[in-house]
Amino acid sequence: MTSKKYVTIDGIPVEINGEKNLLELINKTGVKMPTFCYHSELSVYGACRMCMVENERGGLDAACSTPPRDGMVIKTNTERLRRYRKNILELLLANHCRDCTTCENNSKCKLQDLAMRFNIEGVRFPNTAKSTVNDDTSSVCITRDNGKCILCGDCVRMCNEIQNVGAIDFAYRGSNMIISTAFGKPLAESPCVGCGQCVAVCPTGAIVVKNNISPVWNAISNPEIKTTVQVAPAVRVALGKELGVKDGEDVMGKIVAALHRMGFDEIYDTSLGADLTVLEESEEFLGRLEQNENIPLITSCCPGWIQYCEKKHPELLPNISTCRSPMQMMAAILKDQAKAASRKMFHVAVMPCTAKKFEAARDEFKMDGEPNVDAVITTQELISMIKEAGIMFDTLEPEAVDMPFGTISGAGIIFGVTGGVTEAVLRRVAANKSRSDLMLVTNCGQRGMEGIKEFKLRYGERELHIVVVSGLNNAEEVIRRIHSGEKIDFVEVMACPGGCINGGGQPFAMAPEKEARSAGLYKSDRLQSIRRSEENPIMTSLYRDIIRGKVHELLHVDYTKK
């Protein structure tokens, strides 16, 4: 029988149960330790030193990098530690831009939060922060400002460890150290794919989402312009977090009500575009299987993944599905309709993804030189607009999206979570359309937050090998397997870990919140009377009346090496 092991924390014995470091153990006691550089999904860096604890010998240990040992006695809140943490905060503030009221991260900044927590009433040291407001605005997705950087390294580790992009790293040494691209080039000229995961982990607003709110308000205010908007599936389960609704709750009806009050003329659900994607991608997949060409088929919904593939693995471009993303399918149809009616339209897409801003600007998605999507705003930007408009979101009565594209399926909704595209396609290609078969598809192995999920499935006389990936470093692992000759038939790739629910434009989420968002989308799927894309009645009228003769022009694209 194994004896239990304990660490005494602030006089309380706490059992060690597989925790990797003292920080995890301390969290079990209900103490919220201050930290800038610690994220459970990233490697331990230990740079900020805010999580120091005092041991029984009077020494100081970094809780994030110290493994728990049986018999340890530590204190988390002593006079010495409080002075120590205040000194660190003052030094950081002395080298930090302090224009808090105009900062994109105002009220969401860890430095601001900890300065208030530790009652920092003044900074004894002169402010040495360089004036670098909007230091790098070259990217259409992300804005960088080194004047707000505290060198915690969160963005560097995310970009290199989780995403395998390597667009940014530490440069120079000592007091000259900064976060930079290679050779100080603009971010737009770096390997950056616009996924925005660096934005998600930045604690101080040194890296933020590129703001596109002003042109949207201008369009709404112009009576000569018809303003339309589509809302991506993952937005509905994340937006409520900062507006008085619990994370994971489907607030699509409230979003529609808010958008109507803000002045949009027509509001649609991108899940309809996802239904179109399912139909087109399923046919493409079955065609490739029959011809045994360009297998595996790799999904094309995620613009961060597309950029990664173009820049790092152009040899895989023939394997990428030619289907446009749901956002672009929806936008192409709406703009084509507006063109036929000779009416000026400004189309907005509300997305969980920063890379969608880049996708909207691509030449491939322009009609007569004009983009199909005129502006992409992220979930965070929509939250800002709702607050600016003074709308009390939690009190809104839900409203329905507008016709004629108001009917969606559950298959389109689950596109927002890793494995959702795969499940939607499997529902389409399954020979048996019974309820029991739908449940079998649900339990194939595509659900869950794991970075790589794979399973085999019988289809006719074939056994299909399917892989679901989220996080670009995980995608790199699957690419290595493909290059080694392993037989894989279908690969779904989402650049962001967990899929769109954890997109760079969403409010930041820890593991439990990601699980809640995932569960929220699956719950919404179950509540839909239509669960398969091909059963959506709008699909019939679309193919027969609206996109007839223009299917490839409006719904497909060919990507090339960049």
Alpha carbon dihedral 324, 329, 333, 338, in 10-degree steps, equals: -90
56 is catalytic: no
| Cα 127 off chain centre by | 34
CA distance 25 to 380: 32
Catalytic residue among 301, 302, 309, 323: 301
Alpha carbon dihedral 394, 400, 401, 407, in 10-degree steps, equals: 130
Q: Tokens 């669960």: give the residue.
A: 531
Contacts 24+ apart (CB under 8 A), 103-108: 103/148, 103/205, 104/143, 104/205, 104/208, 104/209, 104/211, 105/148, 105/202, 105/204, 105/205, 105/208, 106/205, 108/205
Catalytic residue among 190, 271, 321, 470: 321
What angle is formed at CA 47 by the lines to CA 45 and CA 53, rounded to 5 degrees?
100
364 is catalytic: yes
> Which 8-state DSSP code applies to residue 91?
H
Q: What is the 3-state secondary structure (H, E, C) of 322-352?
A: CECCHHHHHHHHHHHHHHHCCCCEEEEEEEC
Catalytic residue among 284, 423, 492, 513: 284
Q: Buried (b) or exposed (e) across 256-282, using 16+ Cβ within 10 A?
A: bbbbbebebebbbbbbbbbbbbbbbbb
161 is catalytic: no
Catalytic residue among 312, 335, 356, 514: 356
141 is catalytic: no
Cis peptide upstream of residue 404 (ω within 30 degrees of 0): yes
Amino acid identity, position 103:
C
Q: Tokens 């009645």: give the residue.
A: 537
CA distance 278 to 41: 32
Q: Sign of the C-alpha dihedral, residues 266, 270, 273, 275?
A: negative
Q: What is the 3-state secondary structure (H, E, C) of 464-520?
A: EEEEEEECHHHHHHHHHHHHCCCCCCEEEEECCCCCHHHCCCCCCCCHHHHHHHHHH
Catalytic residue among 54, 242, 281, 492: 281
Q: Buried (b) or exposed (e) across 307-316, using 16+ Cβ within 10 A?
A: bbbbebbeeb
Catalytic residue among 15, 293, 364, 553: 364
496 is catalytic: no
Catalytic residue among 141, 409, 500, 513: 500
Please say whether the beta carbons of 258 and 393 come within 8 A: yes
SS3 293: coil
* The total number of residues written for the chain in this structure: 562
Amino acid identity, position 95:
N
End-to-end CA distance of the chain: 61
Please say whether the beta carbons of 364 and 324 come within 8 A: no
SS3 262: helix
Tokens of 533: 């894309």
224 is catalytic: no
Q: HSE (CB half, 13 Å, CA atoms) of 98?
A: 14
Tokens of 173: 């040494």
Neighbours of 428 (CB within 10 A): 22
Neighbours of 381 (CB within 10 A): 21
388 is catalytic: no
266 is catalytic: no
Catalytic residue among 24, 249, 266, 359: 359
**Which residues have a catalytic role annotated?**
281, 284, 301, 321, 356, 359, 364, 500
